[in-house]
Amino acid sequence: MASAPSSTTSGIHLPDTARDLVKILVAGPFGVGKTTLVDSVSEIRPLHTEEPLSEASAQVDDLEGARDKSTTTIAVDFGRISLPGGIVLYLFGTPGQERFRSVWDDIAYGALGALVMVDSRRIDASFDVLGLVEETGLPHAVAFNAFPDAPGHYTEAQVRAALDLEPGTPIVTCDARDADSSIDALLALVHHLIDRHPPEHR
């Protein structure tokens, strides 16, 4: 089990042990928990670009399964976390609505991978985001965010089949509110990236 960042690494400045700086996207549909995940793990004060949902946006944003949500990310969430081995992740949470797709290329530029979050209450809501990540060619892992009011329990095999994931795509169950659980999801992605591109001997 991972550990949340300690207070000794908190603050504005990078830790002295920082060696590899990695840009990671936190992607997923509207209301899946991207902002919550960034909040739970960031060792710096996260940056948010959230605005209240309006009557106009309610006409275009699918609130099914997320009726209690009152705000939405309109540009990006940003946070940072230092991992063992000198790896520092810069986390960029992306907007989940189709109407913000025009900013995707700008946010995705320079990213090495993506953590795609899936809502256990509405698995099909993640199809478009997964397709976009695959279209971009980003290596990715899937974080199945388990909400307590989900209609049922799904096995990993069922989720993998429903999302039509490639056999090597990591999938982990997480609770975006819990730092340890969220870090475990990020570590699954990092290990996947390392397996694809082993670091050169230094």
Which pLDDT belongs to residue 2?
A: 54
pLDDT at 69 over 90: no
pLDDT tens digits for range 169-193:
999 999 999 999 999 999 999 999 9
Which pLDDT belongs to residue 93?
A: 92
pLDDT at 105 over 90: no
Which pLDDT belongs to residue 14?
A: 82
Whole-Å CA distances, 156 to 77, 170, 191: 28, 10, 19
Q: Which residues of 24-41 are buried (b: 16+ CB within 10 A; e: fewer)?
A: bbbbbbbbbbbbbbbbbb
Band of pLDDT at residue 145, cut at 50, 70 and 90: very high
Between residues 89 and 107, the one the model is more confident about: 89
Whole-Å CA distances, 15 to 8, 82, 83, 84, 178: 9, 8, 10, 11, 23
Which pLDDT belongs to residue 149?
A: 80
SS3 (DSSP) at 13: coil
